[in-house]
Amino acid sequence: MLTKKMEKELNKQINAEFYSSYLYLSMVTYFDSIGLPGFSAWMKAQTQEEIAHGMKIFDHVSERGGRVLLDAIEKPAFKWKSPLDAFKAALDHERLITSKINRLVDIARKEKDHATDNFLQWFISEQVEEETNVGDINDKLKLIGNDKSALFMLDQEMGKRIFTPPADKQ
């Protein structure tokens, strides 16, 4: 059974995960508008991944006897100066989500909620992967600079990403 505090904080994280999906969906429209379909496809997969993360927490709250309370999702940014600017924003966002997950672990430990602490370890690992992937793309975009042919090649590479839903259980 979840404590009221843990339930409240997990509900906030569900909202944060769904906001993440909105942010990345907004980036889909940005990349579409500047003719980078591979970047757009990458962000579509990222959008699906964030929805899956939100639903994973949603299911955990329900399975632990809590009540999911959905809240309004903040409007995301929709303009960036460049692909690099968009991916810098994505990296900053992933770092923010990592801090939120870490805070949830701290709360679970303080509340002596070992099941939620265990559940959140999957997200800890996931955030390492998220920051690494987005950071690697940032690094590539920095190397590319203003080279349009290199950007075209990276766009082709980005378009190969396919969303794979996370396993239902850890």
Binding-site positions read 17, 50, 53, 94, 127
What spatial distance separates the first Cα and last Cα of the chain, rounded to whole Å? 19
Residue 116 to residue 136: CA distance in whole angstroms: 30
Residue 26 to residue 38: CA distance in whole angstroms: 15
Query: Residues for the chain: how many in total?
Result: 170
Grouping H, G, I as helix, E, B as strand and the rest as coil, residue 62 is: helix
Binding-site positions for Fe cation read 17, 50, 53, 94, 127
H-state helical runs in the chain: 4-33, 37-63, 83-110, 114-144, 148-158
Contact 27, 86 (CB under 8 A): yes
